[in-house]
Structure 1
């Protein structure tokens, strides 16, 4: 784990040295931003350049190796034109899930509106529904522990689906799991999110709860 206050200026300096004025935007995403860091957490960075090719990814890799714990730095690396063409239904969660350290992210994003946010929620829930059914089937012959491990991975995805669904319902983007849990009334949503926060609480019955939640939400949005 890192101290962001100490790590941030080192990472910014390393990327500025590597890319100079080509570095249009840089920021933080993921578990470090949400305050949900585990010992094995990556450091999810947003890096937008004027363009990105594989050599740029090599330079990013090399620059991060000059920073303590830089081997954990991954995240979203993108060119300006690709970001401008990004599907609008993903942009609300992307924008609200980023703390900008350098540049102007809003100026680089295409326009999006409430209909795009709703579509993003529907796509996210549909993908989770498919993954729930797929994982349930493909793990039938595995041990109980292996099935629970697969379930825990889906519960991580459940948070992001619920987050964007709640944004559609309430008109508010809630950034962290604990804050979202406090905002929920539905008992099934609270249970599944609690199991996402503490994966050791996950149970086989969560497969059914996930499937039923996805089905109900897809039909209601």
Structure 2
């Protein structure tokens, strides 16, 4: 199994050789950043340069091609100026789900106020509501439903942050602080993530009604 600490150490070495002092920030997101990875989990990288050009994107792509486990690599590449003008509701999850390796994202905190978090919840449940209906009517795919429950687990993180003022990184820890309805959403997501079978009918109904309830509550 890939050893993420040694992999990222090598990645940072190569990144510095490629971009030098232009690196403003580098970090790790997703399950590997939270210590919840499985063997096939993505390596979800964040790299922020002083500025970003089309040539930089091609250079970064070529650099990644020289790394082991290239097929697992995904993530976010940006210039610093663009990041600081990003939609604040997106920055909430971005900030709290990123484990810094080089630099710090703390300058973003002034843009992540309560309204930004509330907007993250609102947009999240609206997207889930629409996605559920579309899947129930047209796609009828288990993988789409699993993705919607994954998205819902992130919304639960934002809901719990609004309620407690604290961010809970690991989704299983949400079961200790979330409300009953949110616990059910997280339990279903964790069961699906562990390989459980998706019940398109019952699980879609439950997720739809949960999203509908929050839309009407906000």
Give the TM-score, by structure 1 length: 0.89
1:195, distance to aligned residue in structure 2 (A): 2.0
Q: Number of residue pairs matched? A: 214
Whole-Å Cα distance in 1 between the matches of residues 158 and 19 of structure 2? 33
Does residue 164 of structure 2 align to residue 170 of structure 1?
A: yes
Does residue 203 of structure 2 align to residue 206 of structure 1?
A: yes
Q: Which residue of 1 aligns with 2:33?
A: 33
- Note the alpha carbon deviations across 1:39-67, whole angstroms, 9 max, x for none: 33210011001222332222222222333
1:2, distance to aligned residue in structure 2 (A): 1.8
1:110, distance to aligned residue in structure 2 (A): 5.7
Give the TM-score, by structure 2 length: 0.90
Spell out structure 1 runs of 4+ moving beyond 6 A: none
- Note the alpha carbon deviations across 1:126-155, whole angstroms, 9 max, x for none: 111111111111125xxxxxx323211211
Instruction: Check conservation: 1:30, 1:44, Cα contact below 8 A.
Output: yes
Given the superposition, is the C-alpha separation of residues 121 and 98 from structure 1 closer, same or farther in structure 2, using an over 3 Å criterion?
same
Given the superposition, is the C-alpha separation of residues 161 and 185 from structure 1 closer, same or farther in structure 2, using an over 3 Å criterion?
closer
Instruction: Check conservation: 1:121, 1:168, Cα contact below 8 A.
Output: no
- Note the alpha carbon deviations across 1:174-213, whole angstroms, 9 max, x for none: 1111111232340x43232122112114322011111110
Q: Which residue of 2 aligns with 1:70?
A: 70
SS where residue 15 of structure 1 aligns? helix
Q: Which residue of 2 aligns with 1:49?
A: 49
Does residue 153 of structure 2 align to residue 159 of structure 1?
A: yes
- Note the alpha carbon deviations across 1:51-110, whole angstroms, 9 max, x for none: 223322222222223332233221011111101111112222111111111112223666
SS where residue 208 of structure 2 aligns? helix
SS where residue 198 of structure 1 aligns? helix
Whole-Å Cα distance in 2 between the matches of residues 212 and 108 of structure 1? 34
Gaps of 5+ in 2: none
Q: Which residue of 2 aligns with 1:81?
A: 81
